[in-house]
């Protein structure tokens, strides 16, 4: 029989769900208070220009990431490429590089005063353009193509080999079979990768701000920083939310309803590896070039400027590192604690109300980070002035933003726990608190630690919320990299960026370790 959830647990879950939805609701209320003049500003030509540039960048990055990832996914899953499993890991390493660090690397390498600008000019070679659209396109493509790569690799590994064998038996050449059978069957993977990359580009702030590309997120930040009346910033935020929702609807329409499952007979077999032959060297050169651009260039540039920063003793990094650890640890702890009642309601007391409460936790995650930060700024200034400008507000932003990560991990762990264990403990005379502390919590500890680690690593890289909500003088690694790079102090930004890169690489280990890296053949 389905049990009724305790009233106190429902009340606690409702409070947490309301907290997660508060930024979106408050942003809507703020926009509803706007007068006709503010709405006229929103509908002017500049806003439509922002929309066109933002969507143009998202489409361009998605297309480039797809075009780059398809051959890489095929080479690392379907061919006899030497060291293909090593290449699969190396090609995913750019996931560990925050986009604002990618922007910093391009500026520090090819921008004015960059490490490679003068040598390239001296040798008569062209200096790659890094400001505006070209730089944003390159930085975001390098940072996001691994999302596409992981989706396409998973799609290729899951395909039924009988489809390809049937196409070959009908006389199709390997190339025609690839384009007429393999690629169409990757439609769900393409949709998934395009959604991830598109939403990432729409919400990105660090790369477009550093590389001076006029997108929605940068315009929202500039409007907030430079205007006395920030209602227009709130309306721009709602516009970005509308674009995000439009992308989600479009992805559902493009995904389709066709089935792509493997047959029972084909599920036990793998596709035979394609022998590259004379194409082996070009394939290795392609993989090597992508790894050099996505991994070698960032590490090399950071080390170059890091050594110069040490030599000049520019900007201590210990203080920002400790601040990052403190804020991220508090955010991780808050997210895990808040995730517990929502996960318990969803798993132990399933029902319409509990499902609604759990889904409400994703409200903050659906907002682009700059919009979430802006809504919390409005909320703090007008409703919670005693919290505005304190560390509590920053931790609240981390909680709302990353609560779904903690809920997902805790919920999956709780689903694996046998409820009869707690019932047996209760039958032995333990009260609810005793059962929770002596039985449930020890069994949940691995999931809680995993969820906390995931939130901690993600919060370390968060930039917009930290810029807008951190207390005055509370520098973190992310804000130090951004502020130093924006002022052209590349040496000062290098050491914080290196520390961030090392910490982010730990998060990459979580992604790669969960991906089925075994290739067929």
Ranges of the chain with pLDDT below 50? 1, 259-268, 515-521
**pLDDT at residue 268, as a whole number:** 43
Fold agreement between 26-313 and 315-488: yes
pTM passes above 0.95:
no
How many CA atoms, within 13 angstroms, populate the side-chain half-sphere of residue 46?
11
pLDDT tens, position by position, 132-187? 999 999 999 999 998 888 888 878 877 666 666 676 677 767 777 778 777 787 78
CA-to-CA dists, residue 49 to 36, 44, 200, 219, 374, angstroms: 21, 9, 20, 11, 22
pLDDT tens, position by position, 303-338? 888 887 776 555 577 888 899 999 999 999 999 999
**pLDDT at residue 1, as a whole number:** 41
Superfamily of domain 26-313: MetI-like (1.10.3720.10)
Q: Which of 108, 71, 110 is nearest to 91 (CA)?
A: 71
Phi and psi for 283 in degrees, rounded to 5? Answer: -65, -45
Token representation of residue 248: 């989600």
pLDDT tens, position by position, 226-277? 665 667 777 888 888 888 878 777 766 665 555 444 444 444 455 667 788 8
Torsion over CA: 39, 41, 43, 49 (sign): negative
The ranges assigned to domains in the chain are 26-313, 315-488
Look up the CATH number of domain 315-488.
1.10.3720.10
Q: Which of 521, 92, 88 is nearest to 276 (CA)?
A: 521
């Amino acid at each position: 029989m389905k049990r009724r959830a305790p009233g106190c647990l429902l009340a606690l879950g409702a409070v947490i769900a309301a907290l997660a939805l508060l930024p979106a609701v408050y942003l809507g209320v703020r926009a509803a208070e706007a007068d006709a003049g503010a709405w006229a500003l929103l509908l002017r030509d500049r806003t439509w220009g922002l929309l066109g540039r933002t969507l143009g960048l998202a489409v361009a990055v998605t297309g480039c990431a797809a075009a780059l990832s398809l051959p890489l996914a095929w080479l690392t899953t379907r061919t006899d490429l030497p060291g293909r499993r090593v290449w699969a890991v190396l090609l995913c390493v750019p996931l560990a590089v925050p986009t604002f660090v990618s922007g910093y690397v391009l500026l520090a390498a090819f921008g004015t005063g960059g490490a490679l600008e003068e040598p390239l000019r001296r040798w008569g070679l062209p200096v790659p353009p890094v400001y505006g659209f070209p730089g944003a396109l390159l930085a975001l493509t390098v940072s996001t193509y691994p999302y596409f790569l992981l989706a396409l690799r998973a799609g290729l590994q899951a395909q039924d080999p009988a489809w390809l064998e049937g196409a070959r038996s009908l006389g199709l050449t390997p190339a025609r079979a690839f384009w007429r059978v393999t690629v169409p069957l990757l439609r769900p993977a393409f949709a998934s990768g395009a959604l991830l990359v598109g939403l990432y580009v729409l919400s990105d702030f660090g790369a477009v701000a550093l590389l001076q590309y006029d997108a929605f997120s940068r315009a929202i930040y500039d409007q907030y920083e430079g205007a006395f009346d920030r209602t227009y910033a709130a309306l721009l935020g709602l516009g970005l939310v509308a674009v995000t929702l439009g992308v989600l609807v479009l992805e559902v329409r493009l995904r389709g309803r066709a089935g792509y499952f493997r047959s029972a007979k084909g599920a036990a077999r793998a596709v035979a590896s394609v022998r590259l032959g004379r194409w082996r060297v070009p394939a290795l050169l392609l993989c090597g070039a992508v790894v050099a651009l996505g991994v070698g260039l960032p590490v090399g540039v950071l080390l170059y400027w890091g050594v110069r920063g040490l030599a000049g003793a520019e900007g201590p990094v210990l203080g920002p590192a400790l601040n990052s650890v403190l804020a991220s640890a508090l955010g991780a702890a808050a997210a895990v604690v808040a995730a517990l009642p929502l996960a318990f309601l969803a798993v132990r007391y399933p029902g319409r109300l509990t499902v609604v409460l759990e889904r409400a936790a994703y409200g903050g995650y659906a907002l682009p980070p700059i919009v979430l930060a802006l809504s919390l700024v409005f909320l703090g200034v007008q409703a919670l002035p005693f919290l505005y400008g304190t560390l509590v507000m920053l931790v609240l932003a981390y909680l709302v933003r990353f609560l779904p990560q903690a809920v997902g991990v805790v919920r999956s762990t709780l689903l694996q726990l046998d409820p009869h264990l707690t019932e047996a403990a209760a039958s032995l005379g333990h009260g609810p608190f005793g059962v929770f502390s002596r039985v449930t919590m020890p069994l949940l500890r691995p999931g809680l630690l995993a969820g906390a680690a995931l939130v901690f690593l993600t919060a370390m890289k968060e930039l917009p919320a930290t810029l807008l909500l951190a207390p005055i003088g509370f520098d973190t690694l992310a804000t130090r990299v951004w502020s130093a790079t924006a002022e052209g102090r590349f040496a000062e930004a290098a050491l914080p960026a290196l520390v961030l890169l090392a910490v982010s690489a730990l998060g990459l280990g979580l992604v790669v370790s969960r991906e089925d890296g075994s290739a067929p053949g």
